[in-house]
Amino acid sequence: MKKKIGMINRIMVISVMALTVGIISAGCVKTGSSSESAAGNAVIGIIGAMDSEVTSLKEHTSDKKTTVIAGMEFIEGTLRGRSVVIVKCGVGKVNAGICANTLINNFGCTRIINTGVAGSLNNDINIGDIVVSVDAVQHDMDATALGFEKGEIPYTDMRVFSADAGLRQAAVRAAKESAPDINVFEGRICSGDQFVATREQKDEIISGFGGMCTEMEGAAMAQACCLNDTPFVIIRAISDKEDGSQHVQFETFQAAAARNCANIVEDMVEHLAD
């Protein structure tokens, strides 16, 4: 009986180790494959958290087919001559992670673009400016009491999720060409299940992670993409000044920001190489 129990324990340990190694080796802390090398029939997934972030994109998509999974409407179709799947994931990291995983594994998306709004963490960035992700972190992941670095997902060795270099370049080019009057920054996106509004919240995030802006979905989407070895990029329009000296009503800003982001994504999609 003791031998049997010992064997079971060894099997459990080996299984846990295998799972951990699989997660660590999933490419979640390295830049993904270049978007330029994707297959010619590549499908591009486009995620926004709210209707205003994807409505324009849906309206400009032809040959549409709608599929509902996990309460989310996935719109397959053609945008600027490219195969796309557009979806509103809803607010928060869980929604974003489920959405990205579904795009990859149910719809075969080989590249993911996440578009939306964020709050500034850098006072050089003005309202309406665009931030394109270099990488993303989860600022509300905190297992420091167990000896892990802040933002590190316990027992996975994952903390920073790097955006695809090719998609980053495509996003920056599209932003500069489709919205030439808007400044474009590249940097870290800090995500968490919090609406960050106070000086104290921002200071804590800046102290722990640095970063250009903060929002509620990007890093979870990034984690799902990295686990599936799928290139991604996050594009964010900024809704306030880092020091709180200027701000606009969130609902009012949403409409203008959504138009800019939609134009950038459309231009980007059209010019992405197969």
Structure-block tokens of residue 141 = 């992941």
| Selected catalytic residue, list 129, 240, 266, 267 | 240
CA–CA separation, 92 and 17 (whole Å): 30
Task: Classify each residue of 90-127 as buried b or exposed e, where b means 16 or more C-beta atoms within 10 Å of its C-beta.
Answer: bbbbebbbbbbbbbbeebebbbbbbbbbbbbbbeebeb
Q: How many helices (H) and strands (E) does the chain have?
A: 7, 10
| Selected catalytic residue, list 53, 129, 164, 242 | 53
- How many C-beta atoms lie closer than 10 Å to residue 210's C-beta? 13
Is 177 one of the catalytic residues? no
- Asked if 181 and 129 count as a contact pair (C-beta separation under 8 A), the reply is no
DSSP state of 49: S
- Asked if 143 and 154 count as a contact pair (C-beta separation under 8 A), the reply is yes
Residues in the chain: 274
Q: Which residues pair with 214 in a beta bridge?
A: 119, 190
Is 164 one of the catalytic residues? no
CA–CA separation, 80 and 25 (whole Å): 36
- Asked if 176 and 183 count as a contact pair (C-beta separation under 8 A), the reply is no
Structure-block tokens of residue 241 = 């000044």
How far is CA 30 from its chain centroid?
15
Catalytic residues: 53, 240
